Structure 1
Amino acid sequence: MSPGALPRSAPDRLVHKTVAAAVAESLRQRILTGEFPAGMQLRQDALAEEFGISRIPIREALLQLEATGLIKIMPHRGAVVSGLSVEEVEDIFALRVQLEPELLVLSARHFSEQDFEDLHSLTEEYSAALAAKEIRRWGELNQRFHLDLLRHAERPRSLSIIAGLLQDCDRPTRLQLSASGDVARADQEHREILALCEAGQIDAAADHLRSHIAYAAQSLIAIYRRALTP
């Protein structure tokens, strides 16, 4: 603290933390919806002017976003929206292909009637969002469906890893669905996986889930590679 400077009071710190959390959530949503694309620089002064606040809570908000991996704070460039390389996409989907079907086998045998009702409700919500082109909701609803399928696996560490992988897949998943036009296929495959679980064909459901993830990966990687082709 510089000589003569007054310490910031507890209420001031609380206000800054509350404002920073609100700014972080606003920026998070704009990143996840693609309004702020990968590689975009987030300038503190511009954001402070937009939100009508000082740079202190802006800086705190950016640090929160960096902790979640949505941005990187780089020397000489400041905060930059994170993106995934082709290799990272391949790695993420390879892990999902390995983990999710295995956990579905453990989870599906414990599904109750209420679980099936909830999953059916979620597939209807997802279908409606796809049909209405509510792109910002596609990733969130896809994550919820996949995690709800695995919720009874009783493998908390694996579920935590998958939750992180699905979060990383949020923007790429919406890109894949938007660019490929595979919304009907994604909807149908979710319904088929659920139907197989209801029929007690759990191994078949796991195989279908594996194919579902692998196809999304193949489609998305093709999109990435086309974008990189001069």
Structure 2
Amino acid sequence: MEEEVYLRMREAILQGDLPGGERLVQEDIAQRFGTSRIPVRDALRRLEADGLVEAGARGVYSVTRFGPDDLKEVYALRELLEGHLVEHACEHLTGEVLEELEQLHQDMEQARADQDPEAYVALNQRFHRALYDAADQPRTEKIILSLWQGIPPLTPLTIEHRMDESSREHLAIIEALRDRDAPRAATAMRAHVATAGRALLEHVARGDVNLR
């Protein structure tokens, strides 16, 4: 039950059904899901760890407000951490992992040709996870994943032309990995994250996306 409450509330927050600043009353949530307060409390703690809700001085939860400045902070952190992780991964990359990354890139190319952003997003996440797993730095990877989870909207890949740019950026990363050029791979990843962040900020500025 706790998992169901967590997943459904997380989806509602990321989709904007629960706006920033909205107070979350545990008794009301428990009644809505037909459960006790314990799974609700545990789900709220997980959402707090994701950065999607915050607890006040008296333990009262509310949906975290998220604006352009927060977006800039998240992408600045991602740029630093993901560049670092890729540089480290390059030094430990096996041929098997490189083949997996190349196959995922080919699959993303097919999703892009099919204009299937949902498939592209899922493959993109697998690409990044496979690369970061290769670095074998679980604490850093956990921080990165928490930054991914707390961003509404979750990805800028649905923005027009962003899949095309993303594909070119992934190829630049793969080429650097093939050459075992760790600094170039890190630079390519930082550029990839920075470009995604700028695209999303521009999207917000135009009013195409409303942040909480």
Q: What TM-score bracket applies, with the shorter chain setting the length?
A: 0.7 to 0.9
Number of aligned residue pairs: give it: 204
What does 1:1-230 correspond to in 2, within 5 Å?
19-32=1-14, 34=15, 36=17, 38-39=19-20, 41=22, 47-48=29-30, 51-53=33-35, 57-73=39-55, 79-127=61-109, 131-134=115-118, 138=121, 141-169=123-151, 171-174=152-155, 176-227=156-207
Q: 1:109 aligns to what SS in structure 2?
A: helix
Q: Distance in 2 between matches of 1:193 and 1:117?
A: 13
Higher Cα radius of gyration: 1
Cα drift, residue 218 of structure 1: 1.6
In structure 2, relative to structure 1, the CA distance for the partners of 1:161 and 1:45 (3 Å cut) is closer
- Which structure 2 residue ranges, 5 or more long, are not aligned? none
Q: Distance in 2 between matches of 1:122 and 1:31?
A: 30
Cα drift, residue 64 of structure 1: 3.4
- Which structure 1 residue ranges, 5 or more long, are not aligned? 1-18
Q: 2:158 aligns to what SS in structure 1?
A: helix
Residues 100 and 210 of structure 1 are in contact (CA less than 8 Å); yes or no, is this contact kept in structure 2? yes
Cα drift, residue 217 of structure 1: 1.7
Cα drift, residue 161 of structure 1: 2.7
Q: Distance in 2 between matches of 1:57 and 1:22?
A: 9
156-165 or 109-118, larger mean C-alpha shift: 156-165
The structure with higher relative contact order (CA 8 Å, sep 6+) is 2
In structure 2, relative to structure 1, the CA distance for the partners of 1:153 and 1:27 (3 Å cut) is same
Q: 1:72 aligns to what SS in structure 2?
A: strand
TM-score by length of 1: 0.68
Residues 147 and 163 of structure 1 are in contact (CA less than 8 Å); yes or no, is this contact kept in structure 2? no
In structure 2, relative to structure 1, the CA distance for the partners of 1:21 and 1:158 (3 Å cut) is closer
Could you say what the CA RMSD is over the residues aligned between the two structures, in angstroms? 3.4
TM-score by length of 2: 0.73
